[in-house]
Structure formats: C-alpha cells, structure tokens
Amino acid sequence: MRLYLYREHIERLNEVSSKVALKIMNDIREAYNLPHTRYISIKAYCKYFMQDREDVWAALEHTKAS
C-alpha cells in the first residue's frame, strides 16, 4: 500500500508534464499548508482532487502496467 505520491505518480495520474506535476504538488502544499518535501500524501492528493483512494491506487496500477 502506497502512502505518498511522487512527481512521477502525479504525472501519470493527471497525464501532465513534469513541470505541471510540480506545480500541482506546490498547489496542494499551499492549499493545506504542508511542508515542502519530495512527495505528497495520498490523503492530501485525494482531498484536493476530491478522489477516492481506491480509485487513485487503481489508476496508478493501471498506468504502471501500460
């Protein structure tokens, strides 16, 4: 079970470039006043995009296989 998302994961989930993924990470950090780290928690990502954790995990598994 994954607890954190790295830039590469956000690129795959949102189908965006590296630069846009970093912007998304910064936006999430700013929205929830999180410290600047290399990753974002799945909880923060799901809350920000109003997604279900199981859907995020399934999408990550699906994009990893592709």
| Residues in Cβ contact with 60 at an 8 Å cutoff, skipping those fewer than 6 apart | 2, 9, 12, 13
- The pLDDT tens digits along the chain (66 residues) read 668 999 999 999 999 999 999 999 999 999 999 999 889 999 999 999 999 999 999 998 887 765
User: 19: which 2 tokens?
Assistant: 């630069």
Q: How far is the C-alpha of 36 from the C-alpha of 66, rounded, in Å?
A: 30
Is the pTM here over 0.85, yes or no? yes
- Cβ-contact 31, 24 below 8 angstroms: no
- Cβ-contact 40, 29 below 8 angstroms: yes
